[in-house]
Structure 1
Amino acid sequence: MMMLKPHLAVCILIRVAPGLCFTVCHAAILAKTNRIARIFQVSSNSSKKTKFTSPISQLYIIGSMVIAELLILSVGLIIDTPHPEVRESHEQRALECSGVNAAHLSASISFPIVLLLLATLYAFKIRKVPDGFNETRMVAFVNYANC
């Protein structure tokens, strides 16, 4: 079987990709549920227009969450940079990325887990939103399926 020889970029990607992918997904869900909760919270209290509900502001919110995850991942990479390493035993020789373990994986997905929990909290808060509001149709299903 032919496999790609691990380079530094591949080792870094192995460490960064899981947390970054989950952050992008859960940040979008959190931004959507937070927006709906704020719209209906303000509409029940007063006639003020809510801030940061436009699509552009939602992208900025998602982008700021992704940047926060990138900062967390960057600190982890600075502290312990992964690199390709040859491991030999008497029967086999393996080339693998060192510095990629369960502790690093759990650190990289801790922020997306927090985002998921917050999105689930907001989904619970907006569960009684009128059915005619199109944006709430699948929010609860997506959040509960992820948990």
Structure 2
Amino acid sequence: MAIDPNNLSATAALTFSEEFNAFDIWNGTTGLDTIGAPQWSTKIRATGTLPYNDESQYYVAGADGSAGAANSLPNPFHVAEGALTISATPANPSIQGSLEGQTYTSGMINTYHEFSQTYGYFEMRAELPDGHGLWPAFWMLPEDGSWPPELD
């Protein structure tokens, strides 16, 4: 049976939902729950940025503002009234060397090691900014982390 986006309750089963009443992160690699119930990861592979996308931001890895370094970085994550805001903040020039030269700090979320699904209907409600060096996106990536197979 085909999924009808106009009649989801009859043609699809909800498998993942996030209303952002809180922001719970999880370390799917070690299984340690860092804040609350498992849901999201804020880690981006082995590095804090994606330089091949010509991005300007360094992704802060934890909701506590940590990036795995001794630097005190701004927490880019804020939840209020059922919405998650991820902010980009200009990086202090004195720490840009430890941020792989990036000029902003920001954040990203993913479900890597937490949730995966091969087929179905996927929907995201979001306001995404545009601008030079920004890379707002909703990506579906392979569970094994390989690239380039992805849907944008």
Q: What's the TM-score bracket when you normalise by the shorter of the two chains?
A: under 0.3
* Relative contact order higher in (CA < 8 Å, ≥ 6 apart): 1
TM-score, reference length from structure 2: 0.24
